[in-house]
Chains A and B, each alone.
Chain A
Amino acid sequence: MSEKRILMSGNEAIAEGAIRAGCAFYAGYPITPQNELIAYMAKNMPKAGRVFIQAESELAAINMVYGASAAGFRAMTSSSSPGISLKQEGISYISGAQLPAIIVNIMRGGPGLGNIAPAQSDYFQATRGGGHGDYRLIVLAPASVQEAYDLTREGFALADKYRIAVMILGDGVLGQMMEPVTLAGKNAGKPLPKRWALTGCKDRKPNVVKSFFMAEGGLEKANLDLQKKYKIIEKKEKRYEGLFLKDAELILVAYGTTARIAKNALFRLRGKGRKVGLIRPISLWPFPADAFRMPGRKARYLTVEMSYGQMVEDVKLSSGCAEVDFLGRSGGGIPGEEEIVNKVNRMMI
């Protein structure tokens, strides 16, 4: 495997990460700002002997991923906000049937058709459910092209390990910006043996992949099994990056693209002697609550998002602070470095 650094967009890095993680099946439907991803897959999946399908809709694409995963293969779909709304049916079925899958959401403005500008306003949809039923997705939020590549690969391993759908949550900036990437990094692991998969019932009892449990108590038991699995994931799979947390009096909280802007603001503020820190959640579910629970910390929190405060709730719950400040825009605007610096300066007078 090449250790060379090559220049790629976030969309392409996710696609390449998937291919190198052994993704055997991809189905998608065009939508901006993730079109580079589907084009990359169209070009490179067949070359690698894998299956690429341009589906007739996002609904068909996610249900194809359901079938591919049921057949025991690593599978992925990608889209942007309106398309992800359409996929919610399949995501719920995939969760109910405990199938591993990767779903990429390169977020754009909403609600409705919104616009094609970058946004982070699908946070609730990604972390709270989106589709029907008591289920969770592991949600990973890369902040650089390299991390988009790495987390996609890691996502496949997590999906297999827990038989769960993993969402890679990026935005239009991350999807389209170009950065150098090292195409190696963390191992996605060999696909685990899938004894439950549909392969034909040679030398064994028939397998059934389903999310339907009609018998008395059947669904409750299945749901409790899911909850047990989610508890383990909450315990083991929280990820975040923390900067200057030891002495911070004010902690910025941001993920993905806004975390990069917040980081720049942080260095400027530190340069002026402001005791500012940063928590960058990498897993949005499970939310890295531990990062907010350092004994003796008395910091205030300021979340920075390209949404109208969808993450604030999680910061409040994790930190136990009743008041959490917020700076954000969505619908086209990106909170700027200057805005963050000014807001912090006002808060720290």
Chain B
Amino acid sequence: MKKIFTRPEALKDAPNHYCPGCGHGIAHRLIAEIVDETGIRERVIGVAPVGCAVVAYDYWNFDCSEAAHGRALAVATAIKRLRPQNIVFTYQGDGDLAAIGTNETIHAANRGENLTVIFINNAIYGMTGGQMAPTTLVGQKTATTPSGREGKGHGYPLKISEILSLLPGVCYVERVSFQDPQHVLKAKAAIKQAFLNQIKGQGFSLVEILSPCPTYWGMSPKDALDWTRDVMQKEFPLGKIK
């Protein structure tokens, strides 16, 4: 009998700590599948964020580094420069990549570092209890915007992917979503592209994933998926940005 669904070798056989319906688990698996498919498990090095995915290295079955909150791209820059034969990627939430780490993000991109960035946009700070993220939508209620985010004063949803796409050092930027299985497959194709770009030495590639956080959106997992499709996408349109 042919086995058509199995755990990728790049994923450990370990129960994860994510909430039901969370997008992090899907993203971890997609990365693991791609690592297997491209045959890079023995030379890939992941850099985990500070955020809900802080212990991503407990789930991935390959070398990983922790980075301080927001500094993943500084850490990854050095690893890749010293080990150009290795495939180095960062995995970062919106707070990590687009608030505390904006400087590291923009400058790594601007230097055209040959890196792959998986950017989980869940419009919220998950790990610390549902506070406003730079990507939180206008009107969205969070622990620190109890009456809903207002653009003036709180800031507007930050479109970091569009900003990065303006930089000459950046090779590829695409925004994808986990809203339904078809879109998950599209997301996988984009992530794969971002890894292949690095393997071919083409430079800085980033995939932004609209990823559900049912817990701090205060929704069921199903409603959270629909919200990424019906609401989030209006602010963050899908597709290839660069």
Total A-B contacts with CB atoms under 8 angstroms apart:
126
Q: Which of A53, A73, A207, A209 has the most CB of B within 10 A?
A: A209
- Decide yes or no whether A113 CB sits under 8 A from chain B: no
User: Which residue of chain B is the closest to A69 with respect to CB atoms?
Assistant: B78
Query: Contact between B43 and A200 (Cβ–Cβ < 8 Å)?
Result: yes
A87 to chain B, nearest CB (A): 11
Bound Cα distance from A58 to B120, whole angstroms: 26
Chain B residue numbers with a CB within 8 Å of A89 are 68, 71
Bound Cα distance from A63 to B71, whole angstroms: 7
Query: Contact between B65 and A210 (Cβ–Cβ < 8 Å)?
Result: yes
Chain A residue numbers with a CB within 8 Å of B81 are 25, 51, 53, 68
Query: Contact between B66 and A210 (Cβ–Cβ < 8 Å)?
Result: yes
Query: Contact between A200 and B66 (Cβ–Cβ < 8 Å)?
Result: no
Query: Contact between A60 and B74 (Cβ–Cβ < 8 Å)?
Result: yes
- Decide yes or no whether A267 CB sits under 8 A from chain B: no
B95 to chain A, nearest CB (A): 16
User: How many of chain B's residues have a CB under 8 angstroms from any CB in A?
Assistant: 34
Take A56-B107, A90-B71, A212-B54 as given contacts and tell me if A67 and B64 are in contact as well, using a CB distance cutoff of 8 Å. no
- Decide yes or no whether B238 CB sits under 8 A from chain A: no
- Decide yes or no whether A44 CB sits under 8 A from chain B: no
- Given contacts A89-B71, A206-B60, list 7 more A-B pairs with CB under 8 A: A61-B74, A63-B104, A66-B74, A198-B79, A199-B63, A200-B45, A206-B64
A interface residues with partner B (beta carbon < 8 Å): 24-25, 27, 51, 53, 55-57, 59-61, 63-68, 70-71, 73, 75, 89-90, 93, 97, 198-203, 206-212, 214
A-B residue pairs in contact (CB < 8 Å), sample of 24 = A55-B107, A56-B103, A60-B103, A66-B67, A66-B71, A66-B74, A66-B78, A67-B67, A67-B77, A67-B79, A68-B79, A89-B68, A198-B83, A199-B83, A199-B86, A200-B42, A200-B44, A201-B41, A206-B57, A208-B63, A208-B64, A209-B65, A211-B66, A212-B66
